[in-house]
Structure 1
């Protein structure tokens, strides 16, 4: 069963204060860990800027959608992100879990009390 992570994130003032060379150095750090994560089966499904014109648009400026073969791969990505200092530069919200399918999800919602 695959696991998924949806991230929403926006830059903090600390990111906006970095110059181009500092940002490039940070991106090199972030990119350096991606090969090992890909070898674990971590997949980027989609990544980009959110469309603020859609109904109920998130307040965060960017999104990333990830797929993982297991909990270890998911935890490795989350740990790797934190280790880079990402959260010093970006306000992030994470939602992670397993895909249960449409009908099972409706059952989850119906069971709420």
Structure 2
């Protein structure tokens, strides 16, 4: 089933300590990897800056939203992010799960349905 994957992240001190040329080299590699995701069936929905005016704002400055083809791809995507060294430079939390019908999820909330353990 199609998955939604959301990354919320902030800079770590290690990112600020890197020279701009190193940061640019690292980001260039990430840009190329993201461009390659489309051929794997990933829809890069959005990258953005988390507006300071957002009501009940999550304490992260940046976000990325993807639609990925299935949970197996999702887990591999997570492994690739970790292997890239991303977490050395960015504090990140992730949100992911099956792309479900909004009404079914909301009615499940009324029944106190929680995510199943994998």
Would you say same fold, with TM above 0.5? yes
User: Structure 1 unaligned runs (5+)?
Assistant: none
Task: Compute the TM-score of the two structures, normalised by the length of structure 2.
Answer: 0.86
Task: Compute the TM-score of the two structures, normalised by the length of structure 1.
Answer: 0.90
Deviation string 1:40-84 (CA, Å, 9 cap, x unpaired) is 111210111100112101110001110011123212321111111
CA contact (8 A) 1:42 1:74 kept: no
1:82 paired with 2:60, answer no
SS at match of 2:100: coil
**Map 1:5-84 → 2, pairs under 5 A:** 5-84=5-84
CA contact (8 A) 2:42 2:66 kept: yes
Shift of 1:36: 4.1
SS at match of 1:112: coil
CA contact (8 A) 1:7 1:65 kept: yes
Deviation string 1:2-49 (CA, Å, 9 cap, x unpaired) is 210111100000001111110011113323433543221112101111
1:73–1:34 Cα change, 3 Å:
same
Task: Choose 85-94 or 37-46, whichever is displaced more.
Answer: 37-46
* Whole-angstrom CA distance in 1 between matches of 2:14 and 2:104: 42
